Structure 1
Amino acid sequence: MPANHQRYSEWDSARFLKWAAGIGDSTKEVVQKLFDSYRVEEQAYKGCLSLLKLADKYSPERLENACRIALIRIPNPRYKNIRLILESGQDKKGDGTLQSYSSSSNKYACVRGASYYGGGSHEE
């Protein structure tokens, strides 16, 4: 193997899942979904590593909240989905937002809202 590939040789899914479990259950579930989405386990390593390193940039708590939100909104969340949630601060909005999404009968998130389509109220 080339030298840049050899550093990944001691890694496996158990190591990533243990690392993710240290952050939280939602993060572990996202990592598991990443592994499940690839036929070859090694193909998921880069995405898992990038995802778990977000805890260094933001915080483990914020990463866990972002993963929880992503699991509610997206069937198979990826690194980019989680990163965008963290960058936009959607993970900081509190539990009220999470409850409204989880109790909603619609499984798709409302992306733009009423103001985008010409205002909130059409009553005159």
Structure 2
Amino acid sequence: MHEAVRPLLEKLNARPMRKLGKSRRELFEQVEKATLRALPARPYQLAFWKKARVNIDYHVELEGHWYSVPYTLVGKSVDVRHTEACVEVFLAGRRMASHVRSLEKGRFTTQPEHMPASHRQHAEWTPSRLIRWAEGVGPSCAKLVEELMTKRPHPQQGFRSALGVLRLAEERRYGKQRVEKACARALRHRAVGYKSVVAILQHHLEDTDETAADKGPLPEHENVRGAHYYH
């Protein structure tokens, strides 16, 4: 079909138009040809956008893979532009990070310059390294970090929460001593998670006395009915 149309197209382009008195070919040569630009060096790439929130470990998630952004963006809402080859992260229209696209699910792509100074020596994260890092806070922190990774199908899935707990120990308002106590309380209550540790710290529960003996017996009162009431 294309071979049959080609000579007809040439004939149409060479035929003068009634109103202009010139053919399409003549107009192209005189007007349009001089304004043509060269084709781009690379073909057009289709791009997609999504909204994301920067997690506690200063990474954003895209199709099961995690990409780093500057750690100062933790908690902020960003725009992620992704093509087959590239992932870019924007904040208020400004590009904050760019990565080569990865299709490995459950893995991290991290640029060292995005990390706090205290994290850079642990750039190659593995479960054993994170646990050793947590031992610098205390045995309870190390135990909690270990459980964060062992209770998941893949240890990498616990990296985010583990890094979040370790970041709490670096913050001036909490510090290692309070975080260690908060981890100990979280372990006693089997509330093993980053959010649990944060809640304990925010409500200053890490030093709360939990022993029933210290609380004393329940007071005598007519509204305290006792177990026999429910039989």
Give the secondary-structure state (helix, strand or coil) at the position aligned to 1:92. coil
Q: Which residue of 2 aligns with 1:91?
A: 206
Residues 90 and 2 of structure 1: is their aligned pair in 2 closer, same or farther, counting only changes over 3 Å? Answer: closer
1:6 and 1:15 mapped to 2: Cα distance? 17
- Indicate whether 1:11 and 2:114 are aligned: no
1:31 maps to a residue whose letter is V
State the aligned residue count: 103
1:7 maps to a residue whose letter is T
Structure 1 segment 39-78 matched on structure 2, within 5 A:
39-57=153-171, 58-74=174-190, 76-78=191-193
2:201 and 2:156 mapped to 1: Cα distance? 26
Deviations 1:70-102 (A, max 9, x none): 11112x510111110000001133xxx15x16x
Deviations 1:20-64 (A, max 9, x none): 111111011101111111111211111100011111221100000
- Superposed displacement of residue 3, structure 1: 5.6
2:221 and 2:147 mapped to 1: Cα distance? 42
Give the secondary-structure state (helix, strand or coil) at the position aligned to 1:23. coil
Q: Gaps (5+ residues) in structure 2? A: 1-64, 69-107, 112-122, 224-231
Residues 3 and 92 of structure 1: is their aligned pair in 2 closer, same or farther, counting only changes over 3 Å? Answer: closer
2:170 and 2:150 mapped to 1: Cα distance? 25
More strand, by proportion: 2
Residues 2 and 122 of structure 1: is their aligned pair in 2 closer, same or farther, counting only changes over 3 Å? Answer: closer
Higher relative CO (Cα under 8 Å, sequence separation at least 6) belongs to 1
TM-score w.r.t. structure 1 length? 0.71
Q: Which has the larger radius of gyration?
A: 2
Q: Which residue of 2 aligns with 1:31?
A: 145
Residues 83 and 122 of structure 1: is their aligned pair in 2 closer, same or farther, counting only changes over 3 Å? Answer: same
Q: Which residue of 1 aligns with 2:119?
A: none
**2:195 aligned to 56, 77, 80, which one?**
80
Q: Gaps (5+ residues) in structure 1? A: 104-113, 115-119
More helix, by proportion: 1
TM-score w.r.t. structure 2 length? 0.40
